[in-house]
Structure formats: C-alpha cells, structure tokens
Structure 1
C-alpha cells in the first residue's frame, strides 16, 4: 500500500520519551508498515531557525505541513515524517523527514543533536543540509556533526584494532545537498562566474600543512569529501522581506521573490529526479515497512547506549523482514486458495489454482524479503506452502470420498436390502447377486465418473463384500462345488481388477503432485536466478558509484597537492576493484549453491504426499467394515 495519499499532514516519527530517550512513534511506524513500495527518503538537517521546514513543504507539494519556525524557538522536535506519492517515480513513495533544529542552546544536550543528525544520515537516501548566509569556515565548523560520524556510526560488527571504517562510509551514506539560504553574494571566482556546485567544491578545498590549525580546518571538509559520493549545492536569495518571513505559510507564490521561487522549483525538480530509493549494504532497496523496522533498530541501539552498526542493522532488519515476508506470502497463498477452491474439485483445476497462487505468493515474498542469502526463509516458505497444498489435497480427497460414499450408499441400497432379506440365499441367487453387483457398480461409476476418489471408494467397498459373495455362492445349491470355486475365483479377479483401477487412480494423483512440486521447484529457482541477477546488478552499480567518487576525489587530491592522501585513496580504489572482480567471479558459484539448496529442499519434501494418500485409503476401508 502506498499510503502517502492518506497522510494529510506530517506525523512525528522519532521523539523523546518521558526519560529523555529517543523512541519511534507507533503511529508513524504503522504508516510505514503499510508501505510495501520502495521509498525515496529525503531528510533535512541544519541549525534551528534556518527555514528547513519550508523546503520540505515544497517537496510535499504543499504550502503548509511541517511547522515553520518564525520565532527564535525551534518548532520541530525530534524527527517528523510525511509520506507522499512520488511525483516522478511510479510505484515509489517519497518519505520526507524534517529534523529538529540543531544547536538550540535551550536543550542543553549536545549528544541529542548528534544522534538526530546520525539518524538523518542513516535513514535517508538524500540528506539536505540547510544553512544561512554563505559557505565559509564558520559554516563548516557549525557542521561539526559530520566529523563525529566516525565515532557514532560503525559499519561492521567486528572491527580490527587499527582498521579505519570511514573509507566505507561513502558506500552507505546518502547523497548530500547543501541548501544555502539568504545568499546575497555573486557566484564568481577570480571575476569569472561559477556554478553553485563549483562554489561548494571550492569551499571544500583542503589547506596544505600539518599544523593543528590546518588539521582542524581540513577535518569537516575531508569528511564531506570522503563520506558523500554525490554533492550538490543550491543557493537561495531571501524569499521575502522581514515581515513576509514571519508569515511564510500565508504567502502566495506571487508574493515570494521570483528568483527564490525559481530556485525552490529547481531544487524540488533536482530532488524528484535525482534522489534514489533508500538502500542498505549491497545496494538493496528497502520499502516503507523496512524503513520503519530500520528506524527501530537504530533507535534501539542508541537507547541501549550502543553505537548504531550498519552490519548489525542489516542482520536485524533481515530477520524482521524475512519472518514477516514468509507470514504474509503464506497468508496470501492461503487466501487465494480458499477464495477460488470449492471442494471437491478436479485435481488439474486445483493444481492450476495452486500454481498461480504460489507464484504470486513467491512474488510477495521476494518483494518483502531481505538479504535471504542462504534461502533459509525461502525454503521455509516453500515447505509451508507444500504443507498447505497437501492439506488442501487431503481435504479434496476426503470431500470427494464423502460424496462417493453417499452415492455408493444410494446406489447399492438395493443390494444391501437383498442381502438383508435373504433374496440371494436361494438356488440361482449367486448369479443374481453377481449380476446386481456388476450392474450397480456400472451405475455407481456413471454417477461418480468425475470424482477423483470414485474407484478407490468402490474398490474398498467391493473388498468388504468378498466374504458376503463367498457365503452366497456356498449357499447356492444349484451350483456344484467346482462351479462354486470357479465363480469365487471370478469374483476375486473382479476385486483385483478394481484394486488396479484404484491404484491407477492414485498413481495419477501422485503424478499430479510430483508435477506440482517440480513446477514449484522451477518457480523458486527462477525467482532465485532473477533475484541474484538483480542483486548482482545493484551491487555492480553501487560499486561503480563508489569507484567513480573515489577516482574523482583522487584526482582532486592530486590537483590540490596532497600526494600522500591521493596515494591512500588509490589504495582504496585498487582494493575496491579487486573486490569487484572477486564478486563477479564468485557469482556462478553462489547461484549454483542457491539452486542446489532449493533442489535439496524439494527432495526432502517429495516423500510426504504419497504417504497421506495411503492414509486416505485405510480410513475409507474402515467405513465399510
């Protein structure tokens, strides 16, 4: 469900509880739980009273929504969320996150601001940093939160003593947009016009030297350069006069500065066109449901005093998502089956319904599942669907048996009455009994020819009448002992023929089940191939994005004269290239292992069905003894 259209206003996603600890609001989590589409997550961060919320309202296509701070107080507390249908990407939801203004001295909790900034980085696919004035050293020093990311975010669960994870941040962090508000300078450098992006990159140039002052100057710049692969800048003139700024929500577009409005529209178009769906490690795209779970995982880590770990978050998210994916896929399968099946039903028709329902259920699972690399949860779903289908087949046999038994009782009522009143215990009565048995058997077959258990029910019934037939033969004085023995053999032969018909009928049913299982296996294998190809493509694009950013940074470092740093960057590039080659060469092996696991699962499930059929036969025999 893409519930963006149902949200008429933002809701609080992350707030402080009564003990001052962060928590995820249930109302917001429930909204995200209902979004099965991929999400494009845009967060805005910045100092309080810088007009962050106005830009988010523009992105939502609304004049009002997120609270605008027109006074000296910070209006937004925690992180607020607004989900709307994505204007450009069909089948995607745009999730806008407006964060609490940073640097409000009244809060007296610097760590709280750090965690708000970290959560915005961890949850978004595009991070908008909003500031006033110009990008200068003071502005970059105010962005000290970016320099603290290495202390407050971990990539791996286990890190070596001398291992620096910051080189991996670029792979996981969002794209970065710096929105400079109330910008009044000319975009020029050495009397030549420059773009806003060139203005940003020029502001991020590093200083030569090894002094503490140079290190302090370079730190926030290096972090921005190394952590964010995509950087973009927009400069906005003042939107209105001072009086107008105090009632921004009420101003019409005609009352806004035309250049501001033009830039605001350009900003929105850029976000719509360039912000990618939110992904986690391996370039895996996440849905609204997964985003809500991810928020809870990160917030829980912060609440417990730990540093949020990307690797642990993915493991936790995978378990949560996959358990739910199995449950929802199975529920979808059962709903489809019970909606369309009316027992008793022809096995071929039941098989077709099962095949379509299972295929759609696997689609549901694939959409929701997450990082099921060993197909543990897919095999679990496969087994549960198999069990449900077996049960449905069992109910189908029982329903068919009941109908056949009802017809059998009606058809053979005359025979039973003849046996009860002794009509066949007379000279010539045995032939009369045999003729009646044959005639009624044909009548029964004519009335139950479409029923799958017709021959089985008749076979069991005739077996119960073997002793009665022998008794009637022995009582027939018109036959010699040799004739009685000959007729008894004929009756026994007829019973054996009927048992063969029943066995043939059961073999057809078992063959149908094996064909269904083969189709199931093929469908799961096709989905694995599709999923792994898609995963490989995502990972390749993710690696190429990171590689391009590192190559760009390496060239920039050389240009600025930082040979040692450029050499370090080249080492990272070489490691990444080697990793990409290794991943590429291991794909066929991974695919083979995955397909083998599914094949083994099919083999383990295969023996279950015939055993249940035998159980049906035994239970039917007891009904006529």
Structure 2
C-alpha cells in the first residue's frame, strides 16, 4: 500500500536537505526505473487541506478509472497524514513511496508519483524557506497544483515571482526550457454563477485574472506575461466548499426548474395591452416562486433567498 516518506527536510540552519537514499529507493525500483515519471505536486498555505486532497488523488489512481472511485462515504481516507486544527502537519517535502503505473494513450506505461509540500506562511517558516520549497516543488513537478482558498489574489502570483524570474533566466540560455503544467485549484469557490464549478469555469476565471489591461501596474503585467511564458500549460479548477456543495447545487437546480417554467409559459402568452402582460408576468412569477420554494433543497435561508432573488431577476 505504500507509506509517506520525507525526501526533503529543513535543517537547523534553515537549509533544505535531500534524502537521496529514499528517493533512489523509490525511483530505481525494478517496476519504475525504466519508465517515464510524472510527478504530481501540491503547494499552498498551511492548514488548507493539501494532504487531504492528495489522498483523494491517490484513491483515484488506485481505482484504475472506475466510475465509482470515490467509494462510500464511510470509506476511510488513507494516505498522507492530515489533521484538522491550526498546527502544520507536513514539514519539508514528502512523497508517497507507492508509484502508480498508468497506461498512456500510446500503450506505454507512465509512473506517477505524488508529492506533498509543506504549507507556507506558518509562524515557524521564513519567507526564504517558503520560496525555496515552492521553487523546488515547481522545478521537479510535471503537474504543480497551487492550492488556494476562495480566489486567486495578486500575492499568489507574487509568490511565484521567484520561480518566474528563474524561468526567464533559463530561457535566455540555449538549453533553457519551460516548466510543465501549473494548476490553480481554488477551493471554497463562492461565485459559481459567474464561473461554474469545475474545469471550464476555472479556465474562464483564470483567463480573466491573467489577462492584462492598460490600468494595471507594469510590474503586474510583467508578472502575468512571465508566468505565461514559464509554464507549458496554465489551468484552473473551481471547487465548492464541501459543506456547501449540495446546498448550492440543489438551490441552483430549483431556480433553473422555476425559470424554465416561467420562460415556457411567457413565450406562449397572447396579450392585448402592456397592463395585461404585466399582470400575466406577476402571476407566472408567483407560480415560479412557489415552484422554487416547493422544490427539495438543502442549505440555510440565506442560500435559498440568494437563489430566489436570482430567479426574480431573470424572470
């Protein structure tokens, strides 16, 4: 089943120390050493559920593409150690020493390795340590996940500045090459009606945030351009708050059901005056409200009111 192994530790003098022996044991194993390796890594602020997420990726890789890979709700989540609370859990950089062999579209096998990086910005970690861990994670990963709560902020891009500058320097050399894929994973996304949960909404949100404008400071423009040139691919995925996902979805479905009723009815209305149309509109709107209220929903009254307000605006 594998176990969690620390491959990079932070020494007493705050320097990074590589556990070469453990890394060689994993990568030079008979079933791995002759295969291409894809390293999936995650980084971000501490206590934001990075280890928790990596364990779901691990569960998926073990499922071999089964449609019900999530399993039952009471199935224990195994893998990297994680905990609730305010104290950091992962220190340095850890990998799961079970390498997952994945069949590629061309028929070959790819060795996938999962890596968990120490959370940033806790009281025991210096800015230099954070920058070094971020840089090492990005330099070695095939897919770098940047775990973010609620929304991308300007300082998230600034935290990538060190790696962006390094990337620009390597591109100036004849052998310089881009880093690979960077994925912004935004947890607890609060604006699903602007950009929907998932990959499509994530890409739309990322395009809006990464785009430059004449109003931006030149430093912000340069940072966006350098990030775009550093990585072979930039992507984004929007996730709901685990406790709010069902509430949001059930209220959204109720709103769409009520809206569909209103649109279908109003399209068939024949009227003789504006006053008559307004009366019909009010009648249909009230029925739509009743449909929304009668629909099965979860969540608090604030969520229900927000979606009812949305319904009234579109009808």
CA RMSD of aligned residues (A): 2.9
Cα separation, partners in 2 of 1:86 and 1:24, compared to 1, 3 Å: same
How far did residue 258 of structure 1 move? 9.5
Match of 1:201 in 2: 207
d(CA) in 1 for partners of 2:175 and 2:159? Answer: 18
Match of 1:106 in 2: 124
Which of 52, 55, 70 is 1:57 aligned to? Answer: 55
Which of 112, 117, 123 is 2:140 aligned to? Answer: 123
* Structure 1: runs of 5+ lacking an equivalent: 1-6, 157-163, 242-255, 261-625
- Please identify runs of 4+ aligned residues in structure 1 that moved more than 4 A: 150-156, 166-169, 256-260
For normalisation by structure 2, the TM-score amounts to: 0.62
d(CA) in 2 for partners of 1:153 and 1:204? Answer: 18
1:235 aligns with 2:238: yes
1:207 match: secondary structure = coil
Instruction: Point out the structure with max Rg over C-alpha.
Output: 1
Match of 2:179 in 1: 173
1:179 match: secondary structure = strand
d(CA) in 2 for partners of 1:237 and 1:167? Answer: 44
Cα separation, partners in 2 of 1:115 and 1:126, compared to 1, 3 Å: same
Cα separation, partners in 2 of 1:11 and 1:178, compared to 1, 3 Å: same
Match of 2:151 in 1: 134
How far did residue 46 of structure 1 move? 1.0
Cα separation, partners in 2 of 1:151 and 1:200, compared to 1, 3 Å: closer
d(CA) in 1 for partners of 2:233 and 2:193? Answer: 21
d(CA) in 2 for partners of 1:105 and 1:18? Answer: 16
Match of 2:99 in 1: 84
Given that 1:80 and 1:97 are in contact with CA atoms closer than 8 Å, whether structure 2 keeps it comes out as: yes
For normalisation by structure 1, the TM-score amounts to: 0.33
d(CA) in 2 for partners of 1:215 and 1:120? Answer: 28
1:186 match: secondary structure = coil
Q: String of CA shifts for 1:248-269, please: whole Å, max 9, x gaps.
A: xxxxxxxx95999xxxxxxxxx
How far did residue 125 of structure 1 move? 0.8
d(CA) in 1 for partners of 2:143 and 2:91? Answer: 21
Match of 1:459 in 2: none
Which of 29, 54, 59 is 2:24 aligned to? Answer: 29
Cα separation, partners in 2 of 1:181 and 1:22, compared to 1, 3 Å: same
Match of 1:384 in 2: none
How far did residue 30 of structure 1 move? 2.1
How far did residue 202 of structure 1 move? 1.0
How far did residue 218 of structure 1 move? 2.3
Given that 1:13 and 1:29 are in contact with CA atoms closer than 8 Å, whether structure 2 keeps it comes out as: no
1:174 match: secondary structure = strand
How far did residue 18 of structure 1 move? 4.0
Match of 2:161 in 1: 147
Match of 2:5 in 1: 11
Q: String of CA shifts for 1:372-408, please: whole Å, max 9, x gaps.
A: xxxxxxxxxxxxxxxxxxxxxxxxxxxxxxxxxxxxx
2:232 match: secondary structure = coil
Which of 45, 48, 66 is 2:46 aligned to? Answer: 48
How far did residue 234 of structure 1 move? 0.9
d(CA) in 2 for partners of 1:167 and 1:204? Answer: 28
> Does 1 or 2 have the higher relative contact order (CA < 8 Å, sep 6+)?
2
* Structure 2: runs of 5+ lacking an equivalent: 63-76, 250-315
* Matches for 1:440-589 after TM superposition, within 5 Å: none
Cα separation, partners in 2 of 1:208 and 1:94, compared to 1, 3 Å: same
Match of 2:114 in 1: 96
Tell me which protein shows more strand as a share of its residues.
2
Q: May I ask how many residue pairs the two structures share in their alignment?
A: 221
Given that 1:147 and 1:219 are in contact with CA atoms closer than 8 Å, whether structure 2 keeps it comes out as: no
d(CA) in 1 for partners of 2:206 and 2:49? Answer: 20
Given that 1:50 and 1:132 are in contact with CA atoms closer than 8 Å, whether structure 2 keeps it comes out as: yes
1:23 match: secondary structure = strand
